[in-house]
Amino acid sequence: MKDEAKTKKRITNELAELCQRIAELEKVEAERQQLERKVVEYEELDRLKSDLLSTVSHELRTPLAAIKGYTTMLLDYDRRLRCEEKQEHLQSIDRATDRLTELVDHLLDMSQLNAGLLKLEKQPISISKLIREAVAEAKLTAPRHQIVLNMRKGLPRVNIDAKRIRQVLDNLIDNACKYSKEGSSVVVQAHRGGSELHISVADQGIGIPAGDLERVFDWMYRIEKRLPQEEGLGLGLSISKGLVQAHGGRIWMESEEGKGSKCSFTLPL
């Protein structure tokens, strides 16, 4: 009887030890799985970082090469160049410098939005004036497109960061012109809908495949190059989404491949 009790106690102790060991092993396994997830996350971050570096360096190289090329030409062949040729080369340098500034601004905005550091400077402004100015400027920068403004009269003033909303509008008009043929029309519309303001930019361009509609707002997402001379980092729409959401609005894309696209956003009133 005594032996039996001893054996029982030994088995109970062994069982308790076993349970403790199992619990320890489970803890180690959970830690291993967590580490595994971290490794996958780091690998993904590393991949994004190298993607970003190669895209950015590629995009920076194009305008830099233009600036270097035309400057060298102006310095080396100064006497042999006609006045109009010099003027054209200077204009190309000017355009390439604008492109570089735009790329750097896009990257800075994106990093501020990602870090939640972007500060809006809101003021009540006339949205009609802001849209009219954006359209007037777009007509100058894209003279071969038919840019049409379709805006209801008497739109209310809105409390927004005018520079940032102008940036959204410029990004959408830039896309509409970039992804459509010269001569086609780009329609900018604005109207009040309940407690929101609706603004949209529609084009008759190459459109977006249904499967890509959601993803075009992702950071650095670009549909495989479909047009010659197509430039971009795939940041315009993600920055626009961040800016619209920071104002409490929504942004979305509608499109039919080969027919055109319409990007719309709202601003709360």
Binding site for Mg ion (CB under 5 A): 175, 236
Alpha helices in 77-182 (DSSP H): 83-114, 127-141, 162-178
Task: Pick one of 118, 165, 168, 216: the residue that binds ligand ATP (CB under 6 A).
Answer: 216
Distance CA 193, CA 168 (A): 19
Distance CA 262, CA 201 (A): 6
| Least distance to ligand ATP, CB of residue 179, Å | 3
The angle subtended at Cα 205 by Cα 202 and Cα 211, nearest 5°, is: 90
Asked if 179 interacts with ligand ATP (CB under 6 A), we say yes
Asked if 233 interacts with ligand ATP (CB under 6 A), we say yes
Asked if 168 interacts with ligand ATP (CB under 6 A), we say no
Q: Which is nearer to ligand ATP, 236 or 249 (CB)?
A: 236
Asked if 63 interacts with ligand ATP (CB under 6 A), we say no
Asked if 222 interacts with ligand ATP (CB under 6 A), we say yes
| Least distance to ligand ATP, CB of residue 110, Å | 9
Asked if 69 interacts with ligand ATP (CB under 6 A), we say no
Residues 6+ apart with CB under 8 A from 69: none
- What are residue 197's DSSP bridge partners? 192, 267
b/e burial code for range 66-104 (CB count within 10 A of at least 16 → b): bbeebeebeeeeeeeeeeeeeeebeebbeebeebbebbe
Structure tokens given for 97: 């410098």
Each residue 101-130 as x (binds ligand ATP by CB under 6 A) or -, in order, gives: -----x------------------------
User: Which residue number has the CB closest to Mg ion?
Assistant: 236
Residues 6+ apart with CB under 8 A from 257: 206, 207, 208, 209, 210
Asked if 192 interacts with ligand ATP (CB under 6 A), we say no
Out of ligand ATP, Mg ion, none, which partner does residue 179 contact, by CB within 5 to 8 A per kind? ligand ATP
- What are residue 268's DSSP bridge partners? 196
| Least distance to ligand ATP, CB of residue 171, Å | 6
Q: Token pair 């459109």 is at which residue?
A: 207
In the chain, how many H helices and how many E strands?
5, 7
Each residue 235-264 as x (binds ligand ATP by CB under 6 A) or -, in order, gives: xxxx----------------------x---
Task: Pick one of 110, 164, 203, 243: the residue that binds ligand ATP (CB under 6 A).
Answer: 203
Task: Pick one of 206, 243, 244, 251: the residue that binds ligand ATP (CB under 6 A).
Answer: 206
Binding site for ligand ATP (CB under 6 A): 106, 171, 175-176, 179, 203, 205-208, 216, 221-223, 232-238, 261
